[in-house]
């Protein structure tokens, strides 16, 4: 083997895949490098599970395929998966005591599809319990290298949260623990941590990626997506994650697999970028406002046109989401009762007592809170007043987007009102955490594709992302927009100074 052109952890996914194909580095060497790097940065709390034997066996198999000329598009590329995807070779806990040590008999479709292309799995990544949270402070499982459950730490400032619920997926990419990772986005859980950690992340149109094997939070909202350092890397990964899975996921779109790299390089001349006035109201920090405005100015230099639009029901997205999502969660999580799988209380008097103790012990405070809210809004006498009304407003939110898209091609604005806050800063006030999702929730409720693109930093050096929202099935357009921005800027190439080289 010849030596790679640069340090392996500084290579993009596309560049690393090319080095592997050219046999400049072996899949085994690559896996060993990233496993060693993971151990050196366990203080971040990114991993919930690793198994060196499993990873190295996959790497050796990848090397054999590379040698035989039967390599997949991602052959030998190391990735890790948010612990919301079930896997046969690693425990799948969804960050919860309820599933501590659980081993699935099958791989999630997203995991299987990436493995079919030769991706090597490094392990499972930390997340808010059952993907419920905006800070990654709600995990209840002990991370590798730790002796108790702790929040995942943002590599740009270890005292700050990374965002959630896919916080560790963003941290792992930002800290160069891997070139890319998988995450899930229910109300912004790919876009928000990507923004807070200075990486690129995309949530595709609802139904693009199969939910089979993804531990459910809110079934009408949950969607898988990739996180990487560049839009090009995300485009490659998303191309292999998406595709129909009709036999196993009834919400899967009956559309053929698509090459999301096909539009990379298209001109942005004349592209109409809608800027909603509701995304720049009170509560948006000066740093976020300035950074987003500078990013929009850069797009104008690239030939795009800025167009004012309105999404008048933006503020309603928070109460709507926090009715619909908990309602679906209360239904989905009812299966965790201690009978068939998962945690069961050690001592109980009767069946009802077993249910009560099992769920009290197994679920954390945030999960219990959302189950209680969801059960309440679905109960007799409240369904019409809350859940049904929320669904009606959800439709109106979708209509607002369609009205806006009559005047523009893409919508742009902040991902979050602020940069990542300090660990514990909002722990005592759940509503403050919920408010951080105000700009990501509308696209989730409408089922639209959205992404976060690194766009700058505040005075303290914390990353700020630009959110791009497209109409249904417009992922290629979003990825090209992000790609063109990244060709003109270097924000996505910068790395945390506190992380060892």
Q: In what order do the strands lie in the sheet with 78-82?
A: 47-49, 120-125, 78-82, 180-185, 223-228, 200-203, 450-457, 463-470, 410-414, 272-276, 305-309
Whether 392 is a known active-site residue: answer no
Which residue in 26, 82, 96, 317 is the catalytic one? Answer: 82
Token output for 192:
């928000």
Half-sphere exposure of 315 (CA within 13 A, CB side): 7
With CA atoms as reference, report the closest residue to 225 among 274, 256, 163, 180. 180
The three-state DSSP-derived secondary structure of 229-249 is: CCHHHHHHHHHHHCCCCCCCC
CB atoms within 10 A of CB 373: 18
Question: Quick one: CA dihedral 394, 397, 402, 408, positive or negative?
Answer: negative
Which residue in 165, 169, 181, 398 is the catalytic one? Answer: 165
Nearest-angstrom CA–CA distance, 13 and 79: 10
Whether 12 is a known active-site residue: answer no
Q: What is the dihedral of CA 426, 418, 452, 152, to 10 degrees?
A: -30
Which residue in 104, 181, 189, 239 is the catalytic one? Answer: 189
Nearest-angstrom CA–CA distance, 355 and 373: 18
Whether 189 is a known active-site residue: answer yes
| Cα angle value 393/319/463 (rounded, 5°) | 110
Which residues have a catalytic role annotated? 82, 165, 189
């Amino acid at each position: 083997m010849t030596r790679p052109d640069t340090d392996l952890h500084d290579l993009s996914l596309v560049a690393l895949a090319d080095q592997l194909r050219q046999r400049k580095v072996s899949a085994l060497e690559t896996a060993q490098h990233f496993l060693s790097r993971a151990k050196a940065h366990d203080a971040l709390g990114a991993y919930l599970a690793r198994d060196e034997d499993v990873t190295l066996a996959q790497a050796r198999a990848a090397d054999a395929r590379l040698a035989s000329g039967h390599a997949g598009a991602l052959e030998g590329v190391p990735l890790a998966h948010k612990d919301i995807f079930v896997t046969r070779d690693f425990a799948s806990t969804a960050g919860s005591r309820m599933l501590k040590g659980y081993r699935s008999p099958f791989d999630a479709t997203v995991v299987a599809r990436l493995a079919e292309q030769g991706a090597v799995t490094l392990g499972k990544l930390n997340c808010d319990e059952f993907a419920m949270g905006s800070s990654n402070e709600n995990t209840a499982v002990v991370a590798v290298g730790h002796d108790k459950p702790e929040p995942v730490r943002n590599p740009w400032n270890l005292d700050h949260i990374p965002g959630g619920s896919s916080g560790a997926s963003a941290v792992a990419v930002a800290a160069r623990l891997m070139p890319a990772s998988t995450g899930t986005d229910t109300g912004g859980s790919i876009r928000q941590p990507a923004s807070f950690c200075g990486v690129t992340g995309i949530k595709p149109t609802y139904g693009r990626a199969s939910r089979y094997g993804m531990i459910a939070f809110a079934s009408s909202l949950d969607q898988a997506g990739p996180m990487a350092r560049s839009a090009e890397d995300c485009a490659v990964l998303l191309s292999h994650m998406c595709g129909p899975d009709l036999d196993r996921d009834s919400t899967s779109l009956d559309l053929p697999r698509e090459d999301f790299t096909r539009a990379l390089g298209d001109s942005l001349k004349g592209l109409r970028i809608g800027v909603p006035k509701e995304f720049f109201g009170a509560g948006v920090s000066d740093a976020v406002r300035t950074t987003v405005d500078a990013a929009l100015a850069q797009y104008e230099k690239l030939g795009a046109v800025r167009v004012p639009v309105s999404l008048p029901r933006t503020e309603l997205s928070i109460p709507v989401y926090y009715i619909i999502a908990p309602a679906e969660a209360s239904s989905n999580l009812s299966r965790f009762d201690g009978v068939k799988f998962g945690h069961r209380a050690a001592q109980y008097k009767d069946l009802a007592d077993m249910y009560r103790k099992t769920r009290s012990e197994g679920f954390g405070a945030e999960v219990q809170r959302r189950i209680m809210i969801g059960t309440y809004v679905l109960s007799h006498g409240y369904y019409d007043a809350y859940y049904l009304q929320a669904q009606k407003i959800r439709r109106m939110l979708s209509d607002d987007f369609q009205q806006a898209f009559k005047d523009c091609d893409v919508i742009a604005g902040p991902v979050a009102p602020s940069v990542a806050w300090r660990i514990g800063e909002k722990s005592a006030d759940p509503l403050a955490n919920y408010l951080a999702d105000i700009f990501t929730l509308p696209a989730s409720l409408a089922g639209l594709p959205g992404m976060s693109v690194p766009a700058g930093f505040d005075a303290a050096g914390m990353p700020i992302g630009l959110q791009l929202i497209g109409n249904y099935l417009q992922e290629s357009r979003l990825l090209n927009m992000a790609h063109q921005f990244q060709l003109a800027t270097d924000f996505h190439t910068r790395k945390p100074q506190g992380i060892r080289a």
